[in-house]
Amino acid sequence: MITKRTPEEIQAVEEAKRMDQLKFEFANAWSALVPAKYQDVNPWKIQPSTKSRLPLEEQAKLYKDIQDHPLEGWAFFSPAGYSKTTCSWALFRYALQVNLKRAIWTGRSEYIRRGWGEGSVVHYWNPCYLYHEAVPEWIAKIQASWDENSKQAPPALSFDKMEKARRDGFTPRVFLEEIDKIKEGSEWNTNQLFMLLNAVDKHKGQLVLDTNLSRRQFLDRFGEPIYRRVKENCNMREYGF
């Protein structure tokens, strides 16, 4: 005799399937997107370390703040060795789990995957409006996209994605690094960066960036409009200056 499942039992089974899918997709995305050096970073297990130039007490305070506000914006200003990249990847890990879960639970994605076979665009996780970009490479991809003969893929991160994310019920989450390595003095580069930060602000996205510049140096280099967008959207932390 076949026992008919109750609605609660059916729901529990479906929930378990979604959790298994989340674990599978998260593992694939994490291993593909994150450098090996930061594969073990976990916002809930991160501990102060003597390998960091940041004093242990300051590390403990910073990590506690991150754990308390993992989905807020953050901007880290410090020379190399002050754990800012570790913090950025810890925040990325949490953001990946949140946006992937929404994609799986709602069935919505950033764009449609075209299957799994030969010639398809293969992604072993749902594209979910989460971006980690080295700014110089992002700008180079924009420029390459103007060339019809370019074989370089256009950047995944674009201004119009922010609006689409909100329509789909997602918070767009943008993680930027190497912002200080873009060509200095280029008005076009500065305008691209401002439009990106303005889109994050307009569509209430999460912005996380780290730079070797101090806050003063960042302001002097990129100007008050960009600095203000960062200040308005991020918890700002500066160390080592």
Per-residue pLDDT tens digits for 153-207: 778 888 888 999 999 999 999 999 999 998 888 899 999 999 999 999 999 999 9
**2 within some domain:** no
Q: What is the pLDDT of residue 116?
A: 46
**1 within some domain:** no
Residue 174 amino acid letter: V
**33 within some domain:** yes
Can you give the residue range of the structural domain that contains 18? 7-238
Tell me how far apart the alpha carbons of residues 199 and 24 are, in angstroms, rounded to a whole number: 31
Q: How confident is the model at residue 144 (pLDDT cuts 50, 70, 90)?
A: confident
Q: Is residue 46 predicted with pLDDT exceeding 50? A: yes
**11 within some domain:** yes
**175 within some domain:** yes
**137 within some domain:** yes
Q: What is the pLDDT of residue 147?
A: 74
Verdict on whether the full-model pTM lies above 0.85: yes
Domain count, the chain: 1
State the CATH number of the domain containing residue 31: 3.40.50.300
Taking only the tens place, the pLDDT of each residue in 211-220 is 999 999 999 9
Percent of the chain with pLDDT strictly greater than 70: 92
Angle, helices 187-202 vs 135-144, to 10°: value is 100
Q: What does 193-231 look like in DSSP terms, one character per residue?
A: HHHHHHHHHHTT-EEEEEESS-HHHHHHHH-HHHHHHHH
**62 within some domain:** yes
- Compare 95 and 124 and report the one with higher pLDDT: 95
Dihedral angle computed from the Cα positions of residues 196, 197, 203 and 205, in that order, rounded to the nearest 10 degrees: 110
Taking only the tens place, the pLDDT of each residue in 95-121 is 999 999 999 999 998 876 554 444 445
The label of the residue with tokens 């439009």 reads: 195
